[in-house]
Amino acid sequence: MKKCKLDLLILLARKGALSESILVSTSALSAEFGGSKDGISQQTVSRWLLELEDSDLIGRNGKRVRIESSGRQKIEEIALVAKESLAGKTAKPAECCDIKGKVASGFCEGKYYVALPEYKKQLASKLGFSPFAGTLNIRLSRSSDVERVRKLKASGGIETDEFVRDGRSFGRSKCFPVLIAGKIRGALIFPSRSHYGDEVVEVIAPVCLREKLKLKDGKEVSIRVL
C-alpha cells in the first residue's frame, strides 16, 4: 500500500509525539516504512516532515518533533472516519444540532484571513454571504458539544480551496451554515491550520457579531447547525 505524509503523522503519534517532543531520525523513519525499496527514502521523509510543519500539523525544534493541536485534530478525524467506516457507516452531511458556549478572545488571526480577497470571494460564493472581516470565538461549555464538533468536522461540510498569495500557501477550510443566537445566519469555519482544539469554534457572519448581539467575553451564545 502506497504511503503518504499522513502515515508519517500517525507513525509519529505512535511514537509518543502527541504528548511530548520526541527525537526523530529521518533514516530510521524511512526504514520503518520499508526504505528506498518501497519508495520511501530519507529524502521523502524529510519532505513529508517539512510539509507537515508547513501545514502546522507538527512543530520542530532541531531533530525533535511534537504533534500540534491541529495535528491531533487531524488524527482524531481520521480515527472517527475509520471507526464509522468499519462499522458500515459512511460520512453523512451534518445533521441539525444545537451547541452552546461562551464568547472568548482569540489570536485576532481570523480578521486577517477572512479579509483576504481570495478567501472572502470563495466564502461569499459558497456560503451566500460576504463575511465580516473577523471571527467570533466560542468556547464550548459541554463535553457533549465538543464531541458533536468532532463528528461535524468528519462529516460533509462546505470546503474552500487552498490558494497561494505572495508566495505563501493558504490551506482549505471547512464550513457549516448556522443560526447564531436564533437571529443571525452565519457559518462555523474550521481552517485546516488552527491554533484551537475542538473545544473552541470560530463563527463568521455578514455582520460583526460582537456589536450586533452586544457580546462580551464570557457571554453564552447558542448556535444551531442547519
pLDDT (tens digit per residue) in 186-201: 999 988 777 777 889 9
Rounded Cα–Cα distance for residues 68 and 50 (Å): 14
Share of the chain above pLDDT 90, in %: 38
pLDDT-based confidence at 89, cuts 50/70/90? low
Question: CA-to-CA distance for 151 and 190, rounded, in angstroms?
Answer: 13
What's the rounded Cα separation, in Å, for the pair 215 and 217?
A: 7
- Is residue 90 helix, strand or coil? coil
- What are the pLDDT digits (tens) for 123-145? 998 898 999 988 999 999 888 89
CATH code for the structural domain at 97-225: 2.40.30.30
3 state DSSP class of 160: coil
HSE (side-chain half, CA atoms, 13 Å) at 74: 25
Identify whether the C-beta of residue 31 lies closer than 8 Å to the C-beta of residue 78.
Answer: no
Cα–Cα distance between 65 and 50 in angstroms, integer?
Answer: 11
Tell whether the model's pLDDT for residue 169 goes beyond 50: yes
State yes or no: pLDDT of 107 exceeds 70.
no
User: Considering the domain 5-67, what is its CATH architecture?
Assistant: Orthogonal Bundle (1.10)
Provide the whole-model pTM.
0.61
What secondary structure letter does DSSP report for 167? T
Domain limits of the chain?
A: 5-67, 97-225
